[in-house]
Structure 1
Amino acid sequence: MSELLPSDAREAFESHDAYTITDDAATVTTTVFDGEVTVEETEPEWAHSYVVTVTVPTLAAAVADDVGAAVESGWLDTFERRLEDAPKATRASVDLETFDVETRVGEVVVTYAFTSGTPAQAAAIAKAFVEYVEGTYVEGIVPGYDYQPPVSKLLQQAQSGGSDGERGGTPL
């Protein structure tokens, strides 16, 4: 994070092992998908505004096969509805100021914004949001398609049971 960002927020992200700090953001390193957090000072002065952005591939971009328009549309609608529940995945009470799901060419950009007066708790909330998006994406995998990286990597991890090496079923 740059020196222009609030120092207490910068310190909270730097001390958290799930982030790397770039020029103007904290990047979550515990997920396959790109998750980034930016911070701005707000009124009142004791709080900061946190914007969490997660970028994932669309269903059509994640598979080698053709995806029908109805399947893509239904997948995106379900994905978006499930993502609304992200605040319930945290250990804190979070009131979202912004929740947005935007489709761009080949990707879906998910944005959450909230205000917090506790930078360490905000860092944990932001990480939970990014991990929630990734978990929700994996839960919404449509069977029967040949997935490409990075989604195929997520499926392999889910099927093997993670790092312990035990093989399990699909994430569904």
Structure 2
Amino acid sequence: MTETEDDGDADSADDLPDRLRRAFADHGSFEREGDAWVSSTTAFDGRVRAESAEEGRIRLSVTVRVPTLAAVTADEVADVVEDGWADTFERRVVDVGGVTRREREFDPVVETDGDEIAVTYALTDGNERRGVDDAGALIDFVEGTYVQGVIPGYEYTGPVSELLSAARRHGNDGAV
């Protein structure tokens, strides 16, 4: 089927090269779920979808979904605080320089839907292992950026309370 004859749907994960599936399996941070690979090492929903691109390259779409500040606090969060926090979070997650193994230009999309913010990056690479490494790095970057932006003084609920607890334990060299 030629490109003009197909129905426009992305390749299913089963149509992708074996080398890409091996790269995800060997990475150790992803589990296959339907047509995506899901990060198994982060508290937030990080998903990578892949499709074949020109000249044997792979196009990866990385989406990380995080809760808004108000969605993970037991306390009331004033609208002005929530808006300022969301604006700062967006500014930080679009500034991706130096995160990936290969220097890349990103044009991330940040969308808020109710109590959730979705951050999406797209990348194309001819080296599937580097592409998968970079996808994992982007997911970790969003999680780290989120945690760095947590505002002290609020009582947090899961998964943020667990992330903060783990950070405290690691900050004390594991001592509790």
Amino acid at match of 1:25: A
Amino acid at match of 2:77: V
Q: Which residue of 2 aligns with 1:145?
A: 154
Trace 1:3-152 onto structure 2 (pairs within 5 A). 3-43=14-54, 45-96=55-106, 98-152=107-161
Trace 1:149-164 onto structure 2 (pairs within 5 A). 149-161=158-170, 164=173
Percent identity over paired residues:
45
Gaps of 5+ in 1: 168-172
CA shift, 1:52, in A, is: 0.3
Amino acid at match of 1:157: A
- How many residue pairs get aligned? The number is 165
Post-superposition, which runs of at least 4 consecutive aligned residues in structure 1 deviate over 6 A? Answer: none
Gaps of 5+ in 2: 1-11
Q: Distance in 2 between matches of 1:140 and 1:49?
A: 30
Q: Distance in 2 between matches of 1:123 and 1:28?
A: 11
CA RMSD in angstroms comes to: 1.7
Of 32-41 and 15-24, the range deviating more from structure 2: 15-24
Q: Is the 8 A contact 2:30 2:38 kept in 1?
A: yes
CA shift, 1:81, in A, is: 0.7
Q: Distance in 2 between matches of 1:122 and 1:94?
A: 11
Q: Distance in 2 between matches of 1:47 and 1:2?
A: 14
Amino acid at match of 1:145: Y
Task: Name the TM-score, length of structure 2 as normaliser.
Answer: 0.87
Q: Describe the shift of the 1:39–1:87 C-alpha distance in structure 2 as closer, same or farther (beyond 3 A).
A: farther
Amino acid at match of 2:17: P
